[in-house]
Amino acid sequence: MYEWLKRSSEGTSNEERNASEGSSNKILDECAPKKSKVYHFHQEWELDYFFTMVKEKCCCLICNTSLAMPKKGNLERHFNTMHSKYQTDFPPNSEIRKSKLQALKSQLKVQENMFSGPIEQSVG
Ligand SMILES: [Zn+2]
């Protein structure tokens, strides 16, 4: 008796199982609002770090660097690294510090006024 060798062509399974089992109706609790966390600028930071709010941006009065997020940590780091001299030249809770802050703020207003200058119209 000859045993016929069956050519088992089952080697390549063409069955592609579409794993459509994952159609779970679970609703994730992603109710997070699109608005990112709002950081409120604290007025005392003007004296603490010489920062102020300019057009919804936290702006350094000393070097005019603007930070996107008015976070206390960012202000503190910037002030301590960039303007550590101010901490000694203008000690906290001192009159000289307040006057310096007022001077810087007045300068800022002057700059703002300069921006809104007359618009040159090119006559063709
Ligand atoms: Zn600065």
Q: What are the pLDDT digits (tens) for 12-36?
A: 545 545 544 544 555 555 555 566 6
Angle at 93 between CA 101 and CA 97, to 5 degrees: 25
Dist. CA 70 → ligand 1 center (Å): 13
In a domain, 121, yes or no: no
Cβ-contact 54, 108 below 8 angstroms: yes
Largest CA-CA distance found in the chain, in angstroms, rounded: 114
**Which residues have C-beta under 5 Å from ligand 1, the single-atom ion?**
60, 62-63, 65, 82
Q: What are the pLDDT digits (tens) for 45-72?
A: 999 999 999 888 899 999 999 998 899 9
Angle at 100 between CA 39 and CA 66, to 5 degrees: 35
In a domain, 19, yes or no: no
Q: What CA–CA distance (Å, rounded) separates 105 from 99? A: 10
In a domain, 69, yes or no: yes
The full DSSP string for 102-115 is: HHHHHHHHHHHHHH
Report pLDDT for 58. Answer: 92
In a domain, 62, yes or no: yes
In a domain, 24, yes or no: no
Residue numbers of the domain that contains 102: 39-112
pTM across the whole model:
0.61
Dist. CA 52 → ligand 1 center (Å): 11
Cα dist. 104→1, 32, 60, 72, 121 in Å? 107, 39, 10, 20, 33
